[in-house]
Amino acid sequence: MKLSFGYGKGEQTVEIPEKNLLGVLVANELEHERRGADAVRYALAHPISAPLLGESVREKKAALGKDRIKIAIIASDISRPVPSYEILPSVIETLLDSGCAPEEITVVFALGSHRGHTEEEKRHLAGDWVFETVRCEDSNPDDCVHMGDTSSGTPVDITRTVAEADYIICTGNIEFHYFAGYSGGYKAIMPGVSTPAAIQANHRMMVRNEAHAGNIDTNPIRQDIEEGGRICGADYMINVVLDEHKHIVYAVAGDMIKAHRAGCAYLDKMYRKPLSRQADIVLVSQGGAPKDANLYQVQKALDNSKHAVKDGGRIILIGACNEGFGSKVFEEWFKEAPTAESMIKRINEHFVLGGHKAAAVAMVMQKADIDLVSEMDVETVKSIFMTPRKSVQEAFDAAMEKYGPDATVIAMPFGGATLPIPE
């Protein structure tokens, strides 16, 4: 059987005997009733465990005894795939229709640990009408308010515009997250509009066994995120689920927990892939450009693939990585590490953003060998404890030679989206 994997702006192909192939993991086929802005409008008209957004805002104004309040809408930054320009108009139209004035509303782009935006990027994220109707600004880690601490000791330090708002709306998308379980919900607060110190305090728990994709109820990082969000006091959420092409196919609105869990359940129906068996060899790709521009991005697909591979197996990681590592700290951690295991020890001793992804790769290496098909320098790949390969076919042939003619194989052409679940 001939399989294709996205690779940069092109593709890589490989011939795999059908008798060896356990499965090709792609999104489950669902009939999506609504898409794009229509899905958002429907969610706002049918909130989960909450009143309609306009009614909720009017109730808050009445409770505060104010005709005018400060409303902060948190939106994702440019590094995320969220089409906020399809979400924000419906949210802001609802607020204006409920009697709010434009000057009451501020859209805050959640930078987390990422760089700030240009004005053109803010306009792109918000859309022309939103950008010209309400204030749009970046979160500011240098101007935060300390609102308390979680039971795990994470400081709830929130960018001032959000911390001082009377009403907070969280937007974003729900997808699997390799240590927080799922994105979305209160994650707009933590790490979205938090300080680097707060983010580090939360993310240090990533090495715990329960901190993995698809786990939410016993995940210490997600529990800490949600406790921090409750301390901050977020009021309402609108989250979307995206297909493999990053288009909105579902949306939820309402209660910060119950609506979020409903979105997670829909995501599971789309992308959770039960496995009766793990494989000797797993071939995984992010799906090509722009999602495989660097190793930092490709790590997400690698992490999902670890659930599909046997202990002692081999992962063939497919990503052009034409931009190299994609993060200076990520690169430094690899280049400074005498062994892969040393990065895990290091992150336990001192959590560093960027270094945390290097440690996550090392945790996969504890389970399986990794061959990397990329445009990265051969010697560089060798120095980071991976085996460089020129093509997927070369990597696959070498793996078959090691594991023998009866080796089992799983393919994950959109590895960042699909989550294998061994049964």
pLDDT at 417: 86
Which domains, from first to last, does the chain contain?
A: 2-27+272-422 (3.90.226.30), 36-242 (3.40.50.11440)
Task: With CA atoms as reference, report the closest residue to 376 among 13, 4, 8, 3.
Answer: 8
Token reading at 62: 């009445």
Secondary structure (DSSP) of 193-253 = TB-HHHHHHHHGGGGSTT-STT--TT-HHHHHHHHHHHHHT--EEEEEEE-TTS-EEEEEE
C-alpha angle 34/44/69, rounded to 5°? 150
Percent of the chain with pLDDT over 90: 90
- Omega before 290 within 30 of 0, i.e. cis: yes
DSSP 39-108: HHHHHHHS-BSS--HHHHHHHHHHHHT-SS--EEEEEE-TTS---HHHHHHHHHHHHHHTT--GGGEEEE
pLDDT of residue 244: 80
State residue 291's pLDDT score: 85
What is the pLDDT, as a whole number, of residue 112? 85
Rounded CA gap, 31 and 50, in Å?
26
User: Alpha-carbon distance 358 to 369, whole Å?
Assistant: 15
> Sign of dihedral through CA atoms 224, 43, 286, 301?
positive
320: phi then psi, degrees, rounded to nearest 5: -60, -40
Can you tell me the distance from the alpha carbon of 254 to that of 334, in angstroms, rounded to the nearest whole number?
Answer: 42
In tens, the pLDDT along 173-220 reads: 999 999 999 999 999 999 999 998 899 899 989 989 899 999 999 999
Tell me whether strands 2-7 and 10-15 are parallel, antiparallel or unpaired.
antiparallel
Q: What is the pLDDT of residue 245?
A: 82
From 109, 218, 235, select the one nearest 172 (Cα to Cα). Answer: 109
* Whole-number pLDDT of residue 155: 97
CA distances from 365 to 206, 236, 307 (A): 16, 40, 12
Residues 12 and 72: their CA atoms lie apart, in Å, by: 45
In this predicted structure, what is the pLDDT of residue 3?
97
Query: Three-state secondary structure along 331-381?
Result: HHHHHHCCCHHHHHHHHHHCCCCCHHHHHHHHHHHCCCEEEEECCCCHHHH
pLDDT at 5: 97
As averages over each run of 10 residues, the pLDDT of the chain (423 residues) reads 95 97 94 96 98 97 96 91 94 97 97 87 96 97 96 96 98 94 96 92 90 94 97 97 91 98 97 96 93 92 96 98 94 97 91 90 97 97 97 98 98 93 89
- Cβ–Cβ < 8 Å for 294, 325: yes
